[in-house]
Structure 1
Amino acid sequence: TYEEGLPFAQERHLDSVRAYMDGWLALLKLYRGDWSAAEEIGQEAVGRQSTSPGRGPALVALGRLYTRRGDPAAMAALDEGLDLLLKQGFRQREGMIRTARAEAAWLAGDQEKTLAEAREVFDLALSYHHEWYVGELAFWRWRAGEAVVLPEWAAEPFALQIAGNWRGAAAAWEAMGCPYEQARALADGDAEAQKQALAMFEQLGARPMVERVRQMLRDAGVDTIPRGPRATTKENPFQLTNRQMQILALLVEELTNAEIAARLHISPKTVDHHVSAVLGKLNVSSREEAAVLARQSPDLTPK
């Protein structure tokens, strides 16, 4: 387990192993809907091990998270993740990055790129009998308009949705505790299911799918479309993680990266990643602007 493996890796200074484990933990948090934790764990793994070959899963987690949020930082993470996996030469691991890149292309409306990414390692995934990669790669090919035939052993939730059984797919995802995937299946359903999907996407902060489902409801002539929570009433409208709130508070104190690193017992490289993320989320270009905004906004006051 992670709890057993982490001390083992730390005691033996197996930095690449720790980065790999943290990356998978970030992916787990992402799929379970804990996006703030996924971002925090992923950023710390990438920042702490900026040259480690084990940081691939963390880059995939961040790329997939940013894709689902509509954050333009997504492709930088996914490009770096692809480059890293290709350099390692382990083609059997490409499934994790190709599925993420196919999703990003589909959400961007690029059907051709969606197909290209999903086809790239589909046959390889088949040869390895990898039910989840085969299922998701086929899913994105289907989403891009291509007819696909799945082997009977392909992952059930994807197979159900491709077959048109959105209720079964949503139930399967719900049983696994994957709210984003559950909502994505519900979005293929009737108006009531789509309204449920919309609420779930809004709760997660999945802006591209919120916009897509709203448009689907409008196109269907639905008059009463839930407006969702106002930004001013959200607990954290800037979507900063707990760690990022800590970083911001120290920026207000005008600490340098080295001083922040010493205060929080993390590396300066990790601080640099967090500061960049904070500036991006606040839509400011400097530490000074972030500090000014924090002083002016009650939403950015550490609780």
Structure 2
Amino acid sequence: MSWRPSAYTSLSNGAIKIKDYAFADEILKQGIQYCEERELDSWRTYMLSGKARMMLETGRWNEACAISEELLNNSEQAPIVRMGALVVIGTIKMRRGGEDALPLLLQAKTMAFEAMELQRILPALVALLEYEWLTGRVLLEIAAIEYAIGLIGQTPGMHENGEFDFWLLRTRKQAVPLREACEGYRLDTPDRAVRASALWDRLGCPYEQALALFESDEEDKKKALTIISQLGANAVCEKMKMDMRTSGIKSIPRGLRKTTLGNPALLTERELGVLELLKEGLQNKEIGARLFISAKTVDHHISSVLFKLDVNSRTRAVQEALRLGILK
């Protein structure tokens, strides 16, 4: 089945907003192929920016960066596409401790306010608020925050608004008057934090899962640190370690384990575990049951494994891992 390009973009954007990544991924594949066959480059790049956002949210950061860099390399790229790519790559660089993250995020904010659209403004502000949390630097002027809050009052959008509220509360101790609370960002008690982490795990959003876990007990904080390390979010990892030390926690994991650093593709410990089970011929549900994670989370890990090994199938992933000596 094929639709007009606008239908592909609307469906994929809607799916990403409600976190139905499996559907979004399929629609984006179809839509991008449709545009490539018909040389509809402007529609194709817009869908690619959506795909980069999806990769960011699902923890496939290397892929997200690769797509964003491709989009930004075109100096004549449409502003709407450029904004999205700047936020995605700027966010990943920020979390990894890249020195060039801030100029990218500030450029995205400038462009977003020129567009005067809430769906462009909120991602840029959220990223800059997270930057404030990481660095302790105050970057956003009150007028920009108040402008966004005013637009939120006119525009329902539970997840996007909830994310903005979460970071604003965390950095400025200021709440947004929301019509509905987003369960994934309600972390004010350990019980709610655990429920939120389970929700993010089901949805396949490891970074948000880690943020929620970190608001629970000491054991969950250590789990959060492991997830953050596996994502390569070095700046966030150091921030969490500092917070743990401040709270009196003494036994703090050092970071990436030797199993991660000692393989050519830099697969995480979890990815190595998934790869071992792929070698056994298990399917997603079976792997999830064995590792006590959701089938969606398994799918995201497999996508990351395929990307890191530069292959396009599970069978080839196992073959390549055997060739490289990652699997025995």
Structure 1 length normalisation: TM-score? 0.70
**Which residue number corresponds to residue 31 of structure 2?**
5
**Which residue number corresponds to residue 205 of structure 1?**
232
Q: 1:108 aligns with which of 116, 128, 135?
A: 135
**Which residue number corresponds to residue 205 of structure 2?**
178
1:14 matched to 2:49: no
Q: Please state how far the C-alpha of 1:111 moved relative to its aligned partner.
A: 4.8
Tell me, yes or no, if the aligned pair for 1:23 and 1:41 is still in contact at 8 Å.
yes
Alpha-carbon distance in 1 for matches of 2:76, 2:50: 16
Q: 2:261 aligns with which of 225, 229, 233?
A: 233
One-letter amino acid matched to 1:138: D
Q: 1:108 to 1:77 in 2, by over 3 A?
A: same
One-letter amino acid matched to 1:14: L
Alpha-carbon distance in 2 for matches of 1:205, 1:52: 30
Structure 2 length normalisation: TM-score? 0.65
Tell me, yes or no, if the aligned pair for 1:95 and 1:121 is still in contact at 8 Å.
yes
Q: Which runs of 5 or more residues in structure 1 are unaligned?
A: 240-302
Alpha-carbon distance in 1 for matches of 2:115, 2:40: 18
Residues paired across the two proteins, number: 240
1:44 matched to 2:46: no
Tell me, yes or no, if the aligned pair for 1:102 and 1:117 is still in contact at 8 Å.
no
**Structure 1 residues 89-139: Cα deviation after superposition (integer angstroms, max 9, x where no partner):** 434421121211221222121256387665441221231112122111111
1:127 matched to 2:143: no
Q: Which is worse superposed, 119-128 or 136-145?
A: 119-128
Q: 2:90 aligns with which of 45, 63, 80?
A: 63
Q: 1:237 to 1:213 in 2, by over 3 A?
A: farther
Identity of aligned residues (%): 31
Tell me, yes or no, if the aligned pair for 2:153 and 2:177 is still in contact at 8 Å.
no
Tell me, yes or no, if the aligned pair for 1:22 and 1:41 is still in contact at 8 Å.
yes
Tell me, yes or no, if the aligned pair for 1:170 and 1:183 is still in contact at 8 Å.
yes
Q: Please state how far the C-alpha of 1:82 moved relative to its aligned partner.
A: 2.4
What's the secondary structure of 1:80's corresponding residue? helix
Q: 1:141 to 1:90 in 2, by over 3 A?
A: closer
Q: Please state how far the C-alpha of 1:219 moved relative to its aligned partner.
A: 2.2
**Structure 1 residues 134-171: Cα deviation after superposition (integer angstroms, max 9, x where no partner):** 1111111210242426535232211x225662112211
> What does 1:146-165 align with in structure 2 at a 5 Å threshold?
146-148=173-175, 150-158=177-185, 160-162=186-188, 165=192
Q: 1:166 to 1:99 in 2, by over 3 A?
A: same
Alpha-carbon distance in 2 for matches of 1:226, 1:116: 41
